[in-house]
Each structure stands twice: as C-alpha cells, then as structure tokens.
C-alpha cells in the first residue's frame, strides 16, 4: 500500500482477562490526537493510558470492535475529554437493542445444549459489561461518517472474530484489532446476527470473505490488538486455516447426533464450572461445523490469496474423511 504511514505509537495495557495485555495505538494527524481502541474498564488501565497519553488532547477514538478489552474505557474517556467516539455499525445496532440481543444469545446457547445456569452466567456477564461501558448517545458510526476520510483514515470491514471487526488504514499502517494475531487462534465469537436479529451470525461465512479483503494488507505495517507482532498476513491466515482444519478433524467423527455441549465434554471433559470457556469453545465448534458443511468456501478464499496449496493435503484429509462415504449430517451434498 502506498503512503508514508502515520507514525503509530503502541500503548500496552494490562487486562484482567485470560488474553493478557491489549494494545491500543495513537497517532497525530494534522496536530490532532487520534486513538485506536481504549483498553478495559479498570482503574489500572485508565492510569496506564493516562501515563502514556495526554488524554486532555484526545480528539478521536476509533474502535476496531466492541469487546470489553478493546473498548471498555471509551465511556470514561468521553467523560474526561471532548473525544469523538466512532464504533462499527454492527456494534451500534447491538447497543441499541442490547436486552433483546442478550435474550436471543441466551436462546442460541440453550440450542447448543448449555444449561440454564451456564446461559444465565454468560448473559449476566455481558449485561454487566454493557452497563459498565454504556456509550448511549456518545458514539458516531464509522461507516456513516466523513471524519475517517477527512483524517486520511481508511476502514476495511473484516468480520469473523466478531461481526463488526474493522481494520483502520493510515498510510502503510494497519490497526487490526483481533483480526490478525500471532500464534493465537482468532476465536469466532458465537453471537446473534445484529442485522436481522433472527438466528446467529455466521462467523465462518464472514471470515471466508474477510480473507479476501485481508489481501489488501500485504506490505502494510500490522499493529495487532494482542501479542507484539505478526509474521505477515499470509502466515497468519495460514495459521488460522491450519488451526481450523485441526479442530474440524477432531470434531468430524464425534459431531453427528450430538449437541455442542456434548462435543465439548468429549473433547475437554467436565467444563461446567467455566461458562466463559464454554462460550469460547462452543464458538469454535460451531465454526468448525460450518466449515465441514461448506468446506469449499474456505478453499476458494485461500485460493484467491494463493495460499491453498500450502494446506492442500490437510484440507483434503479432513474433508474427504468427513464428507466421503457415510455423509455425516453436517456435510453438504
């Protein structure tokens, strides 16, 4: 990509979550301070960010997606400055219909075989997070604003991890949130479809499309949301594809006739005491099942990037075993 870049500064902030540290990024554009992501809603995170930036000068905050470790401080920043906060359109829809979305998510978890106790825990956790990070009336929508273009910032929609993931491009710099992470599988979070509020968001379908978009980041300086660096777009996409094939290979033989929770118990044992783990791993199982039902979608996207040959043998080993001969119920005809 052409352009000199924006001189991104990385701000590393500790979180209380399993993922560990999160990275936010700042830059100056025509003398105005711009921040990408904010960190979690903790006193420690706020103190850390304030020690690294003059928050009184903060003019714009762009969020890659609204997971708590990436946007948790946004409301507090709005209270302490005149910052304009920009969020993805899909997140705006979810915030405006928060209670309805949580009810529908609880239904999806119940369909996956989760107990009432598990669904109540997950719903309660997300409800508390929405309350702690309330941005009602304080945000603008990235896709509907002319501010990014005026600042020389491009955005790319790359859903998959969530349904709202945006990448921000500033010259040769790309702030990617959780889209591209080193040696971590991009967990595709099970969620309600915010566009229809009818059924679940299909992370697998979206991710296969996003792979094609990620080609535009070749040659960019990638600024990830976690870990310190990545080995490049192609290496990271291949890592995700290999991890997906590995997971699908484990799932294919035990999936037919079983609930998502049953599959999790077979793979991981008794996990009933860790609802957060259940949500994350259930999301991965659904992603793997969607792949097994339509493997050609991933194949076509990897071919588009010229990467398929590097996973060809593993791909056909999984797909032919899963969809050949006995035709499990989750395979396409």
307, 37, 60, 53: which is closest to 176 by C-alpha?
Answer: 37
In what helix (H) or strand (E) does residue 203 lie, and over which residues does it extend? Answer: helix 203-214
Distance of CA 281 to the CA centre of its chain: 14
CB 204 within 8 A of CB 297: yes
Give the model's pLDDT for residue 321. 65
Would you say domain 9-232 falls under CATH 3.60.15.10? Answer: yes
d(CA 224, CA 68): 16
pLDDT, tens digit, for every residue of 102-134? Answer: 999 999 999 988 889 889 989 998 888 888 888
Give the model's pLDDT for residue 322. 58
Of 163-177, 182-196, 318-332, which range is least confident?
318-332
In what helix (H) or strand (E) does residue 85 lie, and over which residues does it extend? Answer: strand 84-87
pLDDT at 328 over 50: no
pLDDT at 180 over 70: yes
Mean pLDDT of the 168-184 span = 93
Q: Tokens 């106790």 label which residue? A: 117
d(CA 41, CA 244): 32
pLDDT at 185 over 70: yes
Q: Is the backbone of residue 9 left (phi > 0), alpha (psi -120 to 50) or beta? A: beta
Mean pLDDT of the 122-147 span = 91
Confidence of residue 331 (pLDDT cuts 50, 70, 90): very low
Beta bridge partners of 175: 168, 223
147, 30, 125, 11: which is closest to 77 by C-alpha?
Answer: 11
Of 22-26, 77-81, 327-331, which range is least confident?
327-331
Cα distances (angstroms) measured from residue 21 to each of 46, 173, 264: 14, 21, 27
Q: Does 272 or 182 have the greater pLDDT score?
A: 182
Mean pLDDT of the 146-157 span = 97
Give the model's pLDDT for residue 90. 95
């Amino acid at each position: 990509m052409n352009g000199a870049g924006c001189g991104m500064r990385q701000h590393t902030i500790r979180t209380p979550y399993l993922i560990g540290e999160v990275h936010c990024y700042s830059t100056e554009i025509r003398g105005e301070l711009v921040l990408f992501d904010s960190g979690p809603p903790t006193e420690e995170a706020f103190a850390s960010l304030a020690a690294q930036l003059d928050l009184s000068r903060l003019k714009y905050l762009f969020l890659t997606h609204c997971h708590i470790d990436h946007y948790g401080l946004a409301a507090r920043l709005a209270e302490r400055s005149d910052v304009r906060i920009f969020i993805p359109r899909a997140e705006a829809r979810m915030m405006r219909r928060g209670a309805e979305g949580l009810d529908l998510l609880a239904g999806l978890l119940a369909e996956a075989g989760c107990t009432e106790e598990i669904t109540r825990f997950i719903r309660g956790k997300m409800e508390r997070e929405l309350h702690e990070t309330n941005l009602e009336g304080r945000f603008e929508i990235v896709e509907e604003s002319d501010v990014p273009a005026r600042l020389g910032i491009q955005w790319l929609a790359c859903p998959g991890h969530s349904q709202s993931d945006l990448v921000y491009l500033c010259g040769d710099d790309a702030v990617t949130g959780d889209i591209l992470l080193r040696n971590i599988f991009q967990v595709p979070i099970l969620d309600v479809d915010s566009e229809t509020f009818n059924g679940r968001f299909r992370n697998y379908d979206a991710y296969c499309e996003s792979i094609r978009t990620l080609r535009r980041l070749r040659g960019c300086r990638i600024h990830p949301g976690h870990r310190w660096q990545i080995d490049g777009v192609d290496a990271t996409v291949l890592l995700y594809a290999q991890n997906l094939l590995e997971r699908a290979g484990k799932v294919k033989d035990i999936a037919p006739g079983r609930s998502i929770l049953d599959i999790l118990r077979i793979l991981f044992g008794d996990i009933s005491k860790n609802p957060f783990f259940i949500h994350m791993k259930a999301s991965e199982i659904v992603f793997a099942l969607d792949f097994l039902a339509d493997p050609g979608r991933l194949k076509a996207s990897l071919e588009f990037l010229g990467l398929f040959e590097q996973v060809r043998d593993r791909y056909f080993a999984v797909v032919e075993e899963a969809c050949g001969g006995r035709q499990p119920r989750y395979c396409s005809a």
